[in-house]
Each structure stands twice: as structure tokens, then as C-alpha cells.
Amino acid sequence: MKQVASEAPPEVWGDAKVRVEGVSKYRLQHGQPFAVLQDVHLYANAGEFVSLIGPSGCGKSTLLNIIAGLEQPSSGTLYLNGRRAEQRLGTVGYMQQKDLLLPWRDVLDNVILGLELRGMSRRLARARALALMEQFGLKGFETAYPYTLSGGMRQRAAFLRTILPEQEVFLLDEPFGALDALNRAQIHEWLLGLWETLHKTIVLVTHDVDEAIFLSDRMYVMTARPGRIQLVQVIDLPRPRRLEMVTTAPFVALKAQILATLRQGPAAEPKDGQQ
């Protein structure tokens, strides 16, 4: 009885919005299997802002693809809302690095894409989107085509498209990578304001330590090749967060610790010599 229970993953587990249990992903390279992700454990509670940070090539994007359902793990289990979820496509909002706005649709019709795919009439979807245009700094650009927009506006349009279907979990893959520092700081504060009104769960992938600390409740630090969780850090800075906090002692202490962990790299992993 006990053995069976430990081999087959349970159907229900906790109440976290997202739970990644022992996920590994192997790919073939030159005919040789190699591990992209190894035994990753991660969760995000309702309304929690979680970041995932790590060097490039540590499988952060692959992990998000797996959570979104674009890829399946080689082993391990995923839970959404505490239930085992084999089929996850269409249940979590996923914003990729590229804004992926469709060039033949204007801004308004781009942002309603998710609603349209769920069968909502265009008229109703447009009305819903129009109500949010101002909050997303897109007012007056409803009928503009993507190529006429600045990078920041394209990013905000992509973000509005992600949140409009009102899923409970949003995965953001380096959404601010293309923005310069000044725009980033502004969009960070704006995003936190929005997140506080939405009460949604966000899993953010980034390679920017400041960004991760400033935004998150908790952050996971990953190692590269194979990607695994090296450190889970609770960010207990008070909310609402202010831009001035980035120079305070607790912030700097957290940053120093995380940077040290990142610098150690996978070489500092003494346990199990499987890889």
C-alpha cells in the first residue's frame, strides 16, 4: 500500500495555485540525452508573486513552457489549484519574451485574442479591453498597428492580452528584458500596483536580481545545466514596495546573498554525483 502511494503521484496535493513536484526534463543532443531540468520543486500560492532567477541556459523558460503545458516533463508532476494537471494549455496566462503581437491586427484586436479564442464575441471582448486601455497606457492607440508602437507599449499590449482572459496564474518570461532601466523601474511599480488590485498569482522569470527582489514575495535561484533549484529565498520587505527600497540595508543584504549563491554556481553542489 505504502509503496504504491509513493510511486503514483497523488491526485490532490495542497492548495497552492501552481505546484511543480520533482520535474525533470531531458533532451537529446547529438544523440546523447542531457538534463535541462533536474528534480525541480516549486510552488506558488494564491496571490503570491514568485520569481525564478538563474544564469542563462538554466532551463527557466523550459520550466515555464512545462507549467504552461507547451511541453511535458520527462518525469515529475504538475499541480494546478492542488489538482494534478496533465493538460494545462489554456488554463494559465503565459507572456513570452517576444511580445508576439500579430501584425495584421490593431492593438485592440490583439489584446482581445485570448477572449476571442474562448468564444467571446468580438464586440463584448472589445468593450472589456477598452475599459482597461487607459490603465495600460494604451488609450488613443486602440486602432494603431503594432509596428507603430514603442517597445514599452508593445510590451504593455502583450501584458494586457495575457491578463484579459482572467486566469488565476500568470507566467511572465523576462517581460521587461527589452526595456531600458528608466522604463523598467516605472513598469515595476506599475506592475505591483496592478498585481495588488488583481489578486493573482504571478511566476516571473528574470535574470535581473534587483527586479526579482523588488517584485517578489519569494524567489527561487536556479543553477545552470542541469537546471535545479539552489536556493529558495523569502523576500520579507514590506509592501507596498517603493523604488527607494533598493538602496536600503535589508534589500542590499538580500541582493548580496543571492548574488553569492548565483556566483557559487553548480560546482558548490556537493550532493549526489549523478550528473
Q: Which residues bind other proteins (CB under 8 A)?
A: 65, 68-70, 89-94, 96, 98, 100, 102-104, 113-114, 116-118, 145, 147-148, 165
C-alpha 235/C-alpha 98 separation (Å) is 28
Of the pair 8, 147, the CB lying nearest other proteins is at 147
Q: How far is the CB of 24 from other proteins (least distance, A)?
A: 22
Of the pair 100, 268, the CB lying nearest other proteins is at 100
Kindly give, in sequence order, each residue whose CB lies less than 8 Å from that of residue 273, ignoring residues fewer than 6 positions away.
none
Q: How far is the CB of 172 from other proteins (least distance, A)?
A: 12
Q: How far is the CB of 163 from other proteins (least distance, A)?
A: 12
Of the pair 25, 188, the CB lying nearest other proteins is at 25
CB atoms within 10 A of CB 98: 11
- C-alpha atoms less than 13 angstroms from C-alpha of 271 in its C-beta half-sphere: 2
In the numeric block, which cell numbers belong to residue 98?
A: 517576444
Q: 221 and 68 in contact (C-beta within 8 Å)?
A: no
C-alpha 41/C-alpha 231 separation (Å) is 11
Q: Where are the alpha helices (DSSP H) in 168-248?
A: 181-198, 209-215
Of the pair 149, 221, the CB lying nearest other proteins is at 149
Q: 156 and 204 in contact (C-beta within 8 Å)?
A: no
Q: How far is the CB of 79 from other proteins (least distance, A)?
A: 18
Q: How far is the CB of 148 from other proteins (least distance, A)?
A: 7
Q: How far is the CB of 87 from other proteins (least distance, A)?
A: 10
The neighbouring-strand residues paired with 42 are 20
Of the pair 33, 104, the CB lying nearest other proteins is at 104
Per DSSP bridges, beta strands 18-29 and 32-44 are: antiparallel
Kindly give, in sequence order, each residue whose CB lies less than 8 Å from that of residue 202, ignoring residues fewer than 6 positions away.
44, 48, 49, 50, 169, 170, 171, 172, 195
Q: How far is the CB of 121 from other proteins (least distance, A)?
A: 15
Of the pair 24, 96, the CB lying nearest other proteins is at 96
Rg (CA), the chain: 20
C-alpha 223/C-alpha 213 separation (Å) is 18
Of the pair 154, 241, the CB lying nearest other proteins is at 154
